[in-house]
Amino acid sequence: MIDRPALQPVASAKPRLRIIDCDIHPTLHSRADLNPFLAKRWQEHLKTYGDHLRIPYVGTTPYPRSQPLIARPDAWPPAGGPPGSDVVYMRQRHLDPLDIEFGILQVLDLFIFSQQNLDFGAAIQRAINEWQLAHWTSREPRLKASILVGQDDTELAVAEIERCARVGKYVQINVSPRANEPLGRHRYWPIYARAQELGLPLGIHVGGYGGHAPTGGGWPSYYAEEHQSNVHTMAAQLTSLVIEGVPERFPKLKIVFIEAGFGWIPSAMWRMDQHYERFWTEVPHLKRRPSDYVRDHFWFTTQPIDEPDDARHLRALIDWVGVDRLLFASDYPHGDCDDPHSAIKTPLTEVERAKIFNRNARELYQLG
Amino acid sequence: MPAPRIDCDIHPAVGGTRTTLLPYLDDYWKEQVLSRAIDGLDLASYPPDMPLSGRADWRPAKGKPGSDLAMVQRGAFDQLGASHAICNVLYGAQAVYDPSMAAAFCKAINDWIAAEWLSRDTRLRASILVPLQAPDLAIEEIERRADDIRFVSVLVLAQGESLLGRRHYWPVWQAAEKHRLPLAIHAGSQYRSAPSSIGWPSYRYEYYLAEAQAFQAQILSLVYEGVFVKFPGLKVVLMESGVSWLPAFMWRANKTWRSVRVEVPWIDREPASIIRDHFRLTIQPFDSPPDAASVADLIEMIGSDQMLLFASDYPHWQFDGADAIPKHLPASLVSRMCLDNPLDTFPRFALAA
C-alpha cells in the first residue's frame, strides 16, 4: 500500500516472539557491484548489450509501477543508493525494530531469471549468489542466502547448485515462476532431484518475464492487471508441479511459494480435487488426491496478506490453508510490505503465532 | 407444474460443418467446406470422448454428447428438473482464424439452433455465437438476431485473441447493451496463446484448471478498462468458470486497486463492488469445499445473493445423479439462483415464449 505510515517498534504485552522473515529483497547499489564476481567477458557484455528480456523496453519494466522501484518511500537509504542496497540501514530500519531473528534473501535484480541469453543469465546468477555472501550474509549473519538458478539451462543450473552446495551457507534453491515451460515439466526434474538430495527447499518468488502473455486471455493494459496476474502464475505453477507428479516422484522435496499470498490456495485445492475425479485417468502417475500433495510439500509466504473486510474471513482462510503451511514474510523494502505486528488482522493463538512467524520457517530452513 | 427453474448453461452439440451445418451455409461456404473438407472443429477444450465432455448416462449411442434433442430434453428437463434452459454451443466457430469463415459458421450455428432446437421446444433459449475475430462482423450477427427474443445473450470464449475489456471490442459490447444481451463468457480457448503465463501445460486437466485464472483476468480487464463506466447496463455471465475462487480474488483485486488506483482514475469504487454489480456465475462446477460450514463461509464471503445462476452444464460431467445444485447451499440462495437471478441477468428472457 502506498499510504502506510513508517514502521515503528511496537510495544506489546504478548510474549516476545522473534520473527523469521522469509522475503527480504537486497538490491545492488549499482551493477558494478557484480564486477568482482563476473568474468571480464560478461562485464563487457553487460555494459554493451545489457539485459536481453522478452519485454519491449531496455530501461524499465513493461508496466510502469506505482512508485519508483516499487519501494516504500522511507526505505531509501540516507547515504544514497536504492532501497535495499544498504545493509546498515536495513538493520536499523527493519531487522532491529521488528526483532527479526532470521531473514531469507530473495534477489530480484537484473531480472536474474529472465535473461534470454542463458550463458549470460548463468553468469549473472553465479555472480549474485557470490555477492549475497560477500555483501550480505557475511556482514549480517541473520540474513540467509538462496541459490539462484535459471531452470531453462538445466545443466548449468545443476552445476551452480553443486558449486554453491560445496560452499554451504545457502538455505534454498530459487527458480523462476515464469520461464519457457511450466515448472512441472520433466526437463526441469534434475534440479528437483538435487534439491531433494541436498535437503534444500525449492523457492519460487513471483515475477519475471517468460515471454508468455501474463494471462490466458492475452496481454493486459494496466499494471493493476499485470500485478494480480502474478497470483495466476503461481496457481498455474502449483497445478503444474502437482499434476506432473513432482511431489510424487520426489517425496522429500519441499517447495516454497513466495510473495503470492495464500488466499487463492484453498480454492485451487478444491478445484484440483473436484476435477481429479474426471481427469485421473489422464494422470495415472498420481497416487494421492492433489490437495494431499499440497498439504505435505508446499509452503506459502503470507505477504501480500489478504485483506477481507471481515476479520472472520481471514481466520477461515487461515484454517483452510492450514497454519503449518504459512511462513511470515515482509517483502521489505517494497511498498506493499507487511508489518509482522499488524499484518494478520485476525486473532491467532500463541502457538499459531509461533508457527507462522517463526517455527515453520525455522524447521523448513533448518535455522538456528 | 413444478416451479420455474432456468438452467443457464447446457450444450447442444454440432455434428460437423459438412453435416449439421451444411443446410445453413450459403452456396460459397457449402462449396468451401465440401471441396476443402473443412470439418472437425470440436474445440480442443472439450474433446467429445473425454469424460468431462459427456456424462456416461448422457451419451447417445451414436454421435456426440448433446447432439440428440430428445435425449437433452430428457436429461435437462425431465431428470434435472429445469423448466427452461439456455443453449450455449461450443463448436469451434469462434476459434477459426479466417474472420469470414468464422462469421459464416457462427451464423450457421445460430440459424441451426433457432430452427432445430428453439423452434422444436419452447423451453429452450440460446446464446448468440459471434465472430469476435472481426468486431464489425460480430455486431452484424448480433443485429441479425436482435429481433428474436429467444436469443438471450452473446457467447464468447474465456481465452481468445485479446482480453475482452480492450477497446477494440467496445462496439460489440455497445450492441449487446443496446439489445439487453448480457455477455456470456464460457470456458474454452481459441488456443491463440498459452493458457497461463507459465506456458503450455502437458495435460488437459491442467488446461481445464487454468480456465479459472483466465476468467479472473477477463474480470480485471473488463473492470479496469472501464467497460462498465462506458456501458453501465452491461452484465457479464461467467459460465463453467468455477465459483469458489471468487472471494479471495475479489480481496486481492480490492487490495491491488487501493495501491495502484492512480493508474485507472475512472474506477472510483472498489473492484469487488463493481464485480458484484455486473458479474454473474453459473454454479456448475462450484469447486466447493467439502463441508457445510466452509460452504456457508464461502457464500458469506461472496457477499451477494444476486451473483449465482443455476446451471447443470449438461451434458458435461460435473456431478452424478439428478440434483445439479451443489451441496450445502442455503435454500433462500437456491431459490434466487434458479429463477430471480436468471431473469434479472437475462432481461430478454420471457418464461412464456
Q: What is the 3-state secondary structure (H, E, C) of chain B?
A: CCCCCEEEEECCCCCCCCCCCHHHCCHHHHHHHHHCCCCCCCCCCCCCCCHHHCCHHHCCCCCCCCCCHHHHHHHHHHHCCCCEEEECCCCHHHHCCCHHHHHHHHHHHHHHHHHHHHCCCCCEEEEEECCCCCHHHHHHHHHHHCCCCCEEEEEEEEECCCCCCCHHHHHHHHHHHHCCCCEEEEEEECCCCCCCCCCCCCCHHHHHHHHHHHHHHHHHHHHHCCHHHHCCCCCEEEECCCCCCHHHHHHHHHHHHHHHHHHCCCCCCCHHHHHHHHEEEECCCCCCCCCHHHHHHHHHHHCCCCCEECCCCCCCCCCCCCCCCCCCCCHHHHHHHHHHHHHHHCCCCCCCC
At residue A5, the pLDDT reads: 42
Q: Give pLDDT tens digits for A278-312.
A: 999 999 999 999 999 999 999 999 999 999 999 99
Q: Which of residues 140-179 of B touch A (CB under 8 A)?
A: 158-166
Note down the domain range covering B32. 6-345
Nearest to A270 among B205, B288, B317 (CB): B288
B206 pLDDT more than 80: yes
Measured between CB atoms, does A14 come within 8 Å of chain B? no
Nearest to B220 among A178, A224, A237 (CB): A224
Looking at the complex, report in whole angstroms how far the Cα of residue A41 sits from the nearest Cα belonging to chain B.
Answer: 31
Measured between CB atoms, does A354 come within 8 Å of chain B? no
Give the separation between CA B52 and CA B187, rounded to whole angstroms. Answer: 13
pLDDT category of residue A7 using cuts at 50, 70 and 90: very low
Residue B260 to residue A268, Cβ atoms within 8 A: no
Cα–Cα distances in Å, from A148 out to A23, A107, A299, B50?
14, 8, 18, 40
Measured between CB atoms, does B332 come within 8 Å of chain A? no
Q: Give pLDDT tens digits for A310-323.
A: 999 999 999 999 99
Nearest chain A alpha carbon to B255: A307
Give the separation between CA B51 and CA B207, rounded to whole angstroms. Answer: 15
Residue B205 to residue A320, Cβ atoms within 8 A: no
Q: Which of residues 228-257 of A touch B (CB under 8 A)?
A: 228-229, 231-233, 235-237, 239-240, 243-244
Question: A with B: how many residue pairs have Cβ under 8 Å apart?
Answer: 240
Q: Are strands B84-87 and B6-10 parallel, antiparallel or unpaired?
A: parallel
- Residue B172 in any domain: the answer is yes
**Could you give the domains of chain A?**
19-365 (3.20.20.140)
The count of domains in chain B is: 1
CATH number where B204 lies:
3.20.20.140
- Residue B1 in any domain: the answer is no
At residue A13, the pLDDT reads: 58
Q: Which of residues 84-113 of A touch B (CB under 8 A)?
A: none
Contact residues on chain A for B259, CB-CB shorter than 8 A: 1-2, 66, 335-336
Q: Are strands B151-159 and B183-189 parallel, antiparallel or unpaired?
A: parallel
- Residue B351 in any domain: the answer is no
Looking at the complex, report in whole angstroms how far the Cα of residue A15 sits from the nearest Cα belonging to chain B.
Answer: 31
Residue B288 to residue A274, Cβ atoms within 8 A: yes
At residue A109, the pLDDT reads: 84
Higher pLDDT, B183 or A73: B183
Looking at the complex, report in whole angstroms how far the Cα of residue A333 sits from the nearest Cα belonging to chain B.
Answer: 15
- Residue B353 in any domain: the answer is no
Share of chain B above pLDDT 90, in %: 98
- Residue B113 in any domain: the answer is yes
The Cβ-side half-sphere exposure at A92, using a 13 Å CA radius, reads 10
Measured between CB atoms, does A263 come within 8 Å of chain B? yes
Q: Which of residues 220-259 of B touch A (CB under 8 A)?
A: 220-221, 224-225, 242, 244-245, 247-249, 251-259
At residue A59, the pLDDT reads: 85
Residue B248 to residue A267, Cβ atoms within 8 A: yes
Measured between CB atoms, does A272 come within 8 Å of chain B? yes
Cα–Cα distances in Å, from B96 out to A263, B92, B172?
37, 7, 18
Looking at the complex, report in whole angstroms how far the Cα of residue A230 sits from the nearest Cα belonging to chain B.
Answer: 9
Q: Give pLDDT tens digits for B73-97.
A: 999 999 999 999 999 999 999 999 9
Return the closest-CA partner of residue B242 out of B170, B318, B306.
B318
Chain length of chain A: 368
Cis peptide upstream of residue B285 (ω within 30 degrees of 0): yes
A113 pLDDT more than 90: no
Measured between CB atoms, does B127 come within 8 Å of chain A? no
* Sequence-distant (≥ 6) Cβ neighbours of residue A199 within 8 angstroms: A252, A366
Measured between CB atoms, does A275 come within 8 Å of chain B? yes
pLDDT category of residue A6 using cuts at 50, 70 and 90: very low
Nearest chain B alpha carbon to A309: B251
Interface test with chain A among B197, B238, B268, B297, by most A beta carbons within 10 Å = B197
Contact residues on chain A for B158, CB-CB shorter than 8 A: 216-217
Q: Residue A171: which H helix or E strand, with range? A: strand A170-175
Q: Give pLDDT tens digits for B14-48.
A: 999 999 999 999 999 999 999 999 999 999 999 99
Residue A232 to residue B204, Cβ atoms within 8 A: no
At residue A110, the pLDDT reads: 76
Count of Cβ atoms closer than 10 Å to residue B123 Cβ: 17
Measured between CB atoms, does B268 come within 8 Å of chain A? no
Measured between CB atoms, does B209 come within 8 Å of chain A? yes
Note the pTM of the prediction, 2 decimals: 0.96
- Residue B352 in any domain: the answer is no
- Residue B152 in any domain: the answer is yes
At residue A14, the pLDDT reads: 66
A3 pLDDT more than 60: no
Beta bridge partners of B154: B128, B183
Give the separation between CA B76 and CA B127, rounded to whole angstroms. Answer: 17
Residue B205 to residue A282, Cβ atoms within 8 A: yes
- Residue B350 in any domain: the answer is no
Contact residues on chain B for A217, CB-CB shorter than 8 A: 158-160, 162-164, 214, 217-218, 221
C-alpha cell at position B18: 459438412
At residue A4, the pLDDT reads: 41
Complex confidence, ipTM: 0.96
Residue A274 to residue B197, Cβ atoms within 8 A: no
